[in-house]
């Protein structure tokens, strides 16, 4: 199903705000891994996206 | 009964029977709706009628009638458009789409079947007109056998080996054997994939098969067929467990990943082997001179 905007980053969830910079995309700060996973899951469901892990403590949500 | 009447009746009966036999319906074959059946049987009847009157019209001779027949045959082109439009519209609301290649293949087959019906009806009515109607039954039988043989294309099982694959995670990267499938972020999702996921390796037998499996349209067809039997754990807004087929770029084989409602690996392999090779994606490199040279 076509859901419009594809390929771009919809949201970023991170525990370390120094790892992300720049604009265009909302960044959510989590206090621990548990919260990060939960935020990622919620955002992915709401935004119709998938959570990806950059393996440096940064998760982002993207629609494919 | 008049000779031409016998020929026409035999022709129509043979053509209609041919269409009925070719209108199989299982998980792969559209339509699965009663109204779709009716539409195609009605068109098949018209096609049979067209084929059946052709020979008596030529023999009479009524060349104007024959010209009109040629015009009427053009109408069957519309069938392809009709099927394509219906299936493309339905595609928009599908979680796992068939893909444009598969739809085009189905639409072409529907058009071609009607031409086969015309041929069957024409051959049977010709035999009934010039010889005896008893012989026409034999001719009709041969034509129907010929039609079903002609419509049966090749399958994935004939061009590729289907084997079990091992699912593993390299940190966040999901792999089936050595083929990277995707990046999975959430720990829960990774655990679920390790518990319930299935991996399959599809190894092409030659260079033609490799090109066929390369085509995204063919991969979509494989996934669609698999999902329409075994189900998938994909929902609206929950697309993380979407089945995927990715290529080992260096070696050219395909890896398929699936989280199914019915996790049965043996049947999954059997289903993949029975997926039709889509006409528009079929690789033909070995038919070309340089393709053959490069292959060795």
- Which segment of A16-20, A36-40, B23-27, B61-65 scores lowest on mean pLDDT? B23-27
Helix %, strand %, coil % for chain B, to 5? Answer: 60, 15, 25
pLDDT band at A31 (very low <50, low <70, confident <90, very high): very high
Q: What is the DSSP string of A1-64?
A: ---S--SSEEEEEES-GGG---SSS-EEE-SSHHHHHHHHHHHHHHHT-EEEE-SSSEEEEE--
Higher pLDDT, A28 or B283: A28
Q: Mean pLDDT of residues grouped by 10 in chain B (296 residues)?
A: 79 84 62 72 86 82 78 80 85 85 85 85 85 81 82 83 90 90 89 90 88 89 89 84 89 89 87 87 78 76
Q: Is B258 helix (H, G, I), strand (E, B) or coil?
A: strand
**B16/B132 same-domain check:** yes
Residue B293, domain member (yes or no): no
B74 shares contact with chain A (CB less than 8 Å): no
Q: What is the pLDDT of residue A1?
A: 45
| pLDDT over 70 at A4, yes or no | no
pLDDT for the residue numbered B137: 83
Domain count, chain A: 1
Question: Looking at beta carbons, which residues of chain B come within 8 Å of A53?
Answer: 171-172, 183-186
Within a domain: residue A48? yes
Nearest CA in chain B to A51: B185
- A36 burial level (CB within 10 Å; 0-12, 13-18, 19+): buried
Q: Which domain holds residue B58?
A: 3-152
Query: Is position A1 within any domain?
Result: no
User: Any CB–CB contact under 8 A between A43 and chain B?
Assistant: no
| Residue A39: domain span | 9-20+30-62
Specify if B291 maps to a domain: no
Per-residue tokens: B84: 């394509």
Measured between beta carbons, the chain A residues lying within 8 angstroms of B95 are 1
- In this prediction, residue A43 carries a pLDDT of 92
CA dist B118 and B141 (Å) reads 14
Is there a single domain that holds both residue B170 and residue B116? Answer: no
* B184/A44 touch (CB, cutoff 8 Å), yes or no: no
Question: What's the confidence (pLDDT) of residue B119?
Answer: 86
Asked if the Cβ–Cβ distance from A53 to B94 is below 8 Å, we say no
Domain shared by B141 and B210, yes or no = no
- The whole-angstrom separation of Cα B184 and Cα B292 is 40
B185 to A51: CB separation less than 8 angstroms, yes or no: yes
Give domain status of residue B245, yes or no.
yes
- Is B82 buried (19+), middle (13-18) or exposed (0-12) by CB count in 10 A? middle
Q: Is B42 in the A-facing interface, judged by CB distances under 8 Å?
A: no
Tell me whether residue A14 is in a domain.
Answer: yes
Q: What is the pLDDT of residues B17-63, one digit of tens each?
A: 888 888 765 445 555 667 777 888 888 888 888 888 888 888 777 77
Q: Report yes or no on A58 lying in a domain.
A: yes
Q: Phi-psi category of B183—alpha, beta or left, where left has phi over 0 and alpha has psi -120 to 50?
A: beta
pLDDT at B28: 52
Using an 8 Å CB-CB cutoff, list chain B residues near A28: none
Say if B296 falls within a structural domain.
Answer: no
B123 and B195 assigned to the same domain: no
Residue B145, number of CB atoms within 10 A of its CB: 12
CA distance A23 to chain B (A): 22
pLDDT at residue A39 greater than cutoff 90: yes
A6 CB within 8 Å of a chain B CB: no
Q: Domains in chain B: how many in total?
A: 2
Task: Kindly state the greatest CA–CA separation across chain B.
Answer: 81
B214 and B89 co-located in one domain? no
pLDDT of B74: 79
Sign of the alpha-carbon dihedral angle for B118, B122, B125, B131: negative
For B:182-201, CB contacts with A below 8 A are 183-189
Both B82 and B203 in one domain: the answer is: no
Residues B73, B210 share a domain:
no
Tell me, yes or no, whether B146 and B182 share the same domain.
Answer: no
Report phi then psi at B104, rounded to 5.
-60, -40
Note whether B101 and B171 are same-domain residues: no
Q: Answer left, alpha or beta for residue B25, where phi above 0 means left and psi between -120 and 50 means alpha.
A: beta
Best A53, A56, A57, A59 member to test B by mutation, with max B CBs in 10 Å, is A53
Query: Looking at the domain assignment, is residue B111 inside a domain?
Result: yes
User: B212 with B238, same domain?
Assistant: yes
Q: Are residues B116 and B177 in the same domain?
A: no
Whether chain A has a CB inside 8 Å of the CB on B88: the answer is no
Residue B248, in any domain of the structure: yes
Domain boundary among B152, B183, B210: B152
User: pLDDT value at position B29?
Assistant: 55
From A64's Cα to the closest Cα of chain B, the distance in A is 9
Cβ pair B186:A52 closer than 8 A:
no
Put simply, whether A35 touches B (Cβ < 8 Å) is no
- Contact residues on chain A for B240, CB-CB shorter than 8 A: 44, 50-51
The domain boundary, picked from B117, B152, B187, lies at B152
Mutate which: A35, A36, A50, vs B, most B CBs within 10 A: A50
End of a domain among B137, B152, B167? B152
A2 domain residue, yes or no: no
A37 with B186: Cβ contact below 8 A? yes
Shared domain for B126 and B237, answered yes or no, is no
Residues ≥6 apart with Cβ < 8 Å to B145 = none
Is residue B295 in a domain?
A: no
A31 phi and psi angles, rounded to 5 deg: -85, -35
What mean pLDDT, rounded, does chain B reach? 84
The answer to whether B99 and B216 have CB atoms below 8 angstroms apart is yes
């Amino acid at each position: 199903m076509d859901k419009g905007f594809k390929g771009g980053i919809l949201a970023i969830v991170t525990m370390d705000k120094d790892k992300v910079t720049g604009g265009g995309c909302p960044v959510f700060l989590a206090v621990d891994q548990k919260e990060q996973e939960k935020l990622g899951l919620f955002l992915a469901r709401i935004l119709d996206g998938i959570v990806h892990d950059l393996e440096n403590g940064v998760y982002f949500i993207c629609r494919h | 009964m008049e000779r031409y009447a016998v020929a026409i009746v035999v022709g129509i009966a043979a053509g209609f029977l041919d269409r009925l036999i070719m209108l199989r319906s299982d998980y792969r074959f559209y339509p699965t709706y009663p109204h779709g059946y009716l539409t195609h049987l009605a068109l098949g009847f018209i096609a049979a009628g067209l084929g059946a009157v052709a020979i008596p019209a030529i023999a009479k001779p009524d060349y104007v009638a024959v010209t009109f027949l040629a015009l009427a045959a053009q109408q069957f082109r519309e069938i392809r458009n009709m099927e394509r439009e219906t299936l493309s519209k339905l595609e928009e609301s599908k979680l796992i789409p068939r893909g444009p290649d598969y739809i085009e293949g189905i639409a072409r087959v529907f058009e071609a079947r009607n031409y086969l019906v015309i041929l069957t009806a024409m051959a049977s009515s010709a035999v009934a007109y010039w010889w005896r109607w008893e012989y026409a039954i034999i001719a009709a039988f041969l034509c129907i056998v010929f039609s079903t043989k002609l419509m049966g294309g090749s399958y994935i099982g004939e061009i590729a080996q289907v084997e079990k694959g091992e699912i593993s995670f390299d940190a966040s990267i999901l792999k089936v054997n050595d083929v990277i499938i995707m990046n999975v972020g959430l720990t829960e999702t990774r655990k679920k994939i390790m518990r319930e996921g299935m991996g399959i390796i599809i190894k092409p037998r030659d260079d033609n098969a490799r090109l066929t499996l390369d085509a995204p349209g063919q991969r979509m067809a494989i996934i669609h067929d698999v999902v329409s039997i075994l189900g998938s754990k994909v929902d609206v807004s929950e697309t993380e467990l979407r089945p995927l087929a990715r290529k080992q770029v260096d070696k050219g084989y395909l890896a398929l990943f699936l989280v199914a409602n019915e996790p049965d690996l043996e049947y999954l392999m059997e289903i993949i082997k029975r997926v039709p090779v889509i006409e528009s994606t079929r690789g033909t490199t070995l038919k070309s001179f340089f393709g053959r040279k490069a292959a060795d």
